[in-house]
A and B are shown apart, each in its own frame.
Chain A
Amino acid sequence: MPLFRPKEYFRVATVGEAVSLLKRFGGAAAILAGGTDLLVAKPPHVEYIVDISRLPLNYIKKGARGVRIGALATLNDIAASPELREEPYDVIARSTWDMGTPLTKNFATIGGNICNAAPSADMPPSLIALDAEARIIGPRGKRRVFLEDFFIGPKKSVLKRGELLAEIFVPRAPANTKAVFLKKGRTSEDIAQVNVAVRLTVDDGLCKAARIVLGAVAPTPIRAKAAERMLEGKGLKEISQIMVDVARKAAEETKPISDVRAPAEYRRSVAEVLTKRALLNLMERFGGA
């Protein structure tokens, strides 16, 4: 069996250096940020390691337009960040709670969790629910992609040869926006069997915007758009009455597979339960239940 035996290790000091190495080596290169996925997978095809861990991309900054999270922010940095205490950004911090252990969260990065593009990853649903965008740097300069459009399949993202995820930008949420993240795994360390983030923006007692984002139930994290549409424009009282139907609709929009972690029927059923619980949680917090 071929082993993980990269030929060469590069530690880069600038983003430009990283981009040029990634462009030169293409699929034979692996990016090392925290390494908590790379050194578990130990992919034998990797010939070059590009260590980006010293790049100045470890920050969480809140400005007038939103929150910027550097790709190298660790999961523990995110969990403890004062910038992510306020609603609805608290959902981003909450999403780190049931991932790995406190030890691995000291160096596992948000960029790694996103770029590995696991359908079960815990960070993407909350970020997608808050309309976050991925800020990418590559050989042709910078570009932005909504995180919703970043994933194209299991382990596949829109990143092209030479490109690097530099930052996640979470736009400033409208007033009266709350979000919740729920996860079902076998244990708290384990990968999600299903996870969900739900975000509601309420104005004058009516739901102005809704996001229901589910993970581990399709090749990528997905938005349950038909279920979202059932919520938009509705009053809180009405939402409380239709919650069960909304959750059922969201579950219908999933395309789960059966694997070692859970059968498809179970995932679909849990997707419904978690969506319902998430809506219930939000209704209680909005005072509409």
Chain B
Amino acid sequence: MVGKGQKMIRVTLNVNGRDYVVEVKPHWTLLHVLRDQLGLTGVKYGCGTGECGACTVLIDGKPMTSCLVLAASADGRKIVTIEGIADKGKLHPIQEAFIEAGAIQCGYCTPGMILTAKALLEKNPNPTEEEVRRAIDGNLCRCTGYVKIVKAILEAAKKMKA
């Protein structure tokens, strides 16, 4: 028993291909643990209520808002954050496409946006613009107006097929 009588839970989180054993409190979110225990600050806190998508990570391949996932509940799951998608220092094609299209302004939404795009392109390598727009419906960007983000994702799809 620790703190105000809360019982810690030992969990194993597989993050970006590596197992981390961490002790978590019952109310800690996955977002909190990724940022504050594991130092993976690419994942952002935005609204805390699952509406903005800044905290998006992939859990077993699916994009989810990590602010609404209990860390204890993520035990044993495969988690991918933005830190985990470059390949030995070489940016992922979606990351490259975002830079080339100028799809990044303040950058706060970018990690979540890219992970959502990655999950989309794995499921649907040849999406229409409409499908891209639907896929990123849960990732808010307050800078770009989305035009360049959508363009970047469509360009990334072409790159990944090539």
CB within 8 Å of B: which residues of A?
Answer: 4-9, 11, 32, 34-36, 39-40, 42, 49, 51, 53, 100-104, 106-107, 188-189
Contacts and interface: CB of A to CB of B under 8 A. Distances in A.
B49 interface: yes
Given A5-B6, A40-B50, A103 B138 contact: yes
B72 interface: yes
A39 B28 CA distance: 10
Contacts, number: 91
| Chain A CB within 10 Å, residue with most, of B27, B53, B59, B72 | B27
Given A35-B69, A39-B68, A103-B63, A6 B6 contact: yes
B107 interface: no
Given A39-B70, A103-B139, A7 B64 contact: no
Nearest to B74: A53
A49 to B, nearest CB: 6
B50 A32 contact: no
9 contacts: A6-B6, A7-B6, A11-B72, A35-B73, A49-B26, A102-B134, A103-B65, A106-B59, A106-B64
A9 B26 contact: yes
Given A11-B73, A35-B73, A104-B68, A5 B27 contact: yes
Interface in B57-96: 59, 62-65, 67-70, 72-73, 75
B101 interface: no
Interface residues of B, number: 32
Nearest to A107: B64
B67 A103 contact: no
Nearest to B61: A106
Q: Which label, helix, strand, loop or mixed, suits the secondary structure of the B interface? A: mixed
Contacts of A34: 68
Interface string B6-28: 11010000000000000001110
Nearest to A101: B138
| Chain A CB within 10 Å, residue with most, of B49, B64, B116 | B64
Top 10 A-B pairs ranked by shortest CB distance? A101-B138, A103-B138, A9-B26, A6-B26, A39-B68, A106-B62, A104-B50, A8-B7, A9-B72, A40-B49
Contacts of B25: 5
A39 B135 CA distance: 23
Nearest to A76: B62
A107 B69 contact: yes
B161 to A, nearest CB: 23
Interface in B11-54: 25-27, 29, 49-51, 53
Interface in B124-150: 134-135, 137-139
A37 B135 CA distance: 22
B5 A7 contact: yes
A39 B5 contact: no
Contact of A32 (B59, B73, B116, B139): B73
A34 to B, nearest CB: 8
Contact of B9 (A4, A9, A40): A9
B56 interface: yes
A85 B134 CA distance: 20
B68 A7 contact: no
Nearest to B68: A39
Given A40-B50, A104-B64, A107-B62, 5 more contacts: A8-B26, A35-B68, A101-B137, A103-B50, A103-B56
